[in-house]
Amino acid sequence: MSILAGRIALITGASQGIGRACALELARAGASVALAASNLDKLNDVASEIAAAGGTAHPFALDVASEESIKDCAKAVIAHFGGVNILVNNAGITRDILALRMKRKDWDDVLTTNLTGAFLMTQAVMSQMVKSRWGRIINVTSVVGETGQAGQANYAASKAGLIGLTKSLARELASRSITVNAVAPGFIETAMTSILTEEQKASFAQSIPLGRVGTDVEVAHAVAFLASEEASYITGHTLDVNGGMFMA
């Protein structure tokens, strides 16, 4: 399948988990993929995996908490590939603790990485999307940005902020045929959740109508759809991939 043939996709946090799955899926759909993260060794592994499957990918160093790094990464990607048609803002961190005990740094680090980083990366590539009058911006938010979660006031606020950013940018960019959407994963099996015991996972699964946790590949399928021409009349939308945990 090559529904994204000729498109250039930039994915942040592409070294593992959902970001890696998105990179593999968009490459499978025909896009050339810019892989951005701080761990170049892992990015090289993902690039090799894509190349072995006949795709095109290149790694780029990125510290999404640094405005300078974001600008340098965007410039390097555009110089290498000639532009960016699809941006997947996936990079994110957690610093979970009850709000009563949360340090200001825990708040600032999460908001800077998860929300400000996504805004700055979007800003760094949107001008050439506007000039080409085509683009797809997809923000990876979370079910907790819609429901809230005890012990995650910083993370939930950052992910809720992404939803607001998505809607605002969708209104600003629609006239240039640029769509802006969000994907909100629920409980997904990733490195972040691998520290949980099987008993904890089973307990979480009981709260999911479909009765199981999701996979990063299922999230990647949603991202690939929103990146495609088939989703050209969808913008400002948050697509829940959560097995029914939250129904808006």
User: Tokens 């529904």 correspond to what residue?
Assistant: 3
Give the model's pLDDT for residue 1: 56
DSSP codes, 190-239? STTTTTS-HHHHHHHHTTSTTSS-EEHHHHHHHHHHHHSGGGTT--S-EE
Average pLDDT, the chain: 95
User: Tokens 């006031």 correspond to what residue?
Assistant: 153
Per-residue buried b or exposed e for 93-107, using 16+ beta carbons within 10 Å of the residue's own CB: bbbeeeeeebeeebb
Which residues on adjacent β-strands are paired with residue 137? 87, 180
Q: Which of 81, 155, 187, 225 is catalytic?
A: 155
Compute the distance between CA of residue 19 and CA of residue 101 in angstroms, rounded to an integer.
31
Task: Find out whether 12 and 235 touch, Cβ atoms under 8 Å.
Answer: no
* Lowest mean pLDDT across 55-59, 131-135, 209-213: 209-213
Query: What percent of the residues of the chain are helix, what percent strand, and what percent coil, each to the nearest 5?
Result: 50, 15, 35
Which tens digit of pLDDT belongs to each residue from 193-218? 776 677 777 777 888 999 989 999 99
Query: Two tokens at 29?
Result: 């759909």
Q: CA 102, 168, 19, 231: dihedral to nearest 10 degrees?
A: 150
> Can you tell me the mean pLDDT for 52-65?
98
Query: Is 155 in the active site?
Result: yes
Domains and CATH numbers, the chain: 8-239 (3.40.50.720)
